């Protein structure tokens, strides 16, 4: 399949912690991202706000900013409901909403939602089949914008190219971006996430990075991908080796962070969504403002 019709630009902001903000402040966050010129704002789904409702609220508060889900959990709603949510937003905000889908993780699917997580890949294939056939009898969009899949391993990356318009890898490296591009071919959109810390002191930067990485190092989907990239169990110990931390999280000056984003682009990424790590849950507006000239200039 070809790239989605929604143009995300070259760099966006991934902001999973937006759910911690009151809705008016979340709307202001979207306005700041738009004001600074970032192409897209990415929102997540775990155990917080509904991503479709949240996307509608944020799109309503902005005029041009694109919203992308990174990702909407396919176990959270049936395929007909997922397709309806996508088409509803695509009709209301033409060219501004991109649906990212994913299988999430066992602890959220089997543990929290009490669904069967034994065959996530097969479930995704069946889910996409049912989405394609879903009834939608409301006024629809001229173009639904397309869809991306959260993908790390080769099978899901291939599916991202054949049954979706691209992939949204998370918690990865530029080396993985190169693998993803080779696996998917040239026609699919590749939009990896990149964690960053605006801190030049190595000890402090890695402390913040390890806090942001902690939950992900315990999730099999992510750590199995790190093993494929050549990391070992030793790299996971004590919150992550310096080698692993430095590979996953870009830290330092604005220019050093921009250099990491450029590595993803050189490796084949079309769009890189930057996630600022920091202490606390406040909106990282100051960091966004510092990064914007280096990332968008």
CB 224 within 8 A of CB 153: yes
Structure tokens at 40: 């897209």
Average predicted confidence (pLDDT) for the chain? 98
Structure tokens at 200: 């030049």
This model's pTM is above 0.95: yes
Confidence of residue 291 (pLDDT cuts 50, 70, 90): very high
Query: Domains in the chain, ordered, with CATH?
Result: 11-193+267-296 (3.20.20.30)
Residue whose C-alpha is closest to residue 41's, from 73, 21, 5, 16 = 16
pLDDT digits (tens, 9 = 90+) for 50-82: 999 999 999 999 999 999 999 999 999 999 999
| Consecutive H or E run containing 82 | helix 79-92
Rounded distance between C-alpha atoms, residue 219 and residue 203, angstroms: 25
Confidence of residue 199 (pLDDT cuts 50, 70, 90): very high
- Residue with token string 């080396």: 175
């Amino acid at each position: 399949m070809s790239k989605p019709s929604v143009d995300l630009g070259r760099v966006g902001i991934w902001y999973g912690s937006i759910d911690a903000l009151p809705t008016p402040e979340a709307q202001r966050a979207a306005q700041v991202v738009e004001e600074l010129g970032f192409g897209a704002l990415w929102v997540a789904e775990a155990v917080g706000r509904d991503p479709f409702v949240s996307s509608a609220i944020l799109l309503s508060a902005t005029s041009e900013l694109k919203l992308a889900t990174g990702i909407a959990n396919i176990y959270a709603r049936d395929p007909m409901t997922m397709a309806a949510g996508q088409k509803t937003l695509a009709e209301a905000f033409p060219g501004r909403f991109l649906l990212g889908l994913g299988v999430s993780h066992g602890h959220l699917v089997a543990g929290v939602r009490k669904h069967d997580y034994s065959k996530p890949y097969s479930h995704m294939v069946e889910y996409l089949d049912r989405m394609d056939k879903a009834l939608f009898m409301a006024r629809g969009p001229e173009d639904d914008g397309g869809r991306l899949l959260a993908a790390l391993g080769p099978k899901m990356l291939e599916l991202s190219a054949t049954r979706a318009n691209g992939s949204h890898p998370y918690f990865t490296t530029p080396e993985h971006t190169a693998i993803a591009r080779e696996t998917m071919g040239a026609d699919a959109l590749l939009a990896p996430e990149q964690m960053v810390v605006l801190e030049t002191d190595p000890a402090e930067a890695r402390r913040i990075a390890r806090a942001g990485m902690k939950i992900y190092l315990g999730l099999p989907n992510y750590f199995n991908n790190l093993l494929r990239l050549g990391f070992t169990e030793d790299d996971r110990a004590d919150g992550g080796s310096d080698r692993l931390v430095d590979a996953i999280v870009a830290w330092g000056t604005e220019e050093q962070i921009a250099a990491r984003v450029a590595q993803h682009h050189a490796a084949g990424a079309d769009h890189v969504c930057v996630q600022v790590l920091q202490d606390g849950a406040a909106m990282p507006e100051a960091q966004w403002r510092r990064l914007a000239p280096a990332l968008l200039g």
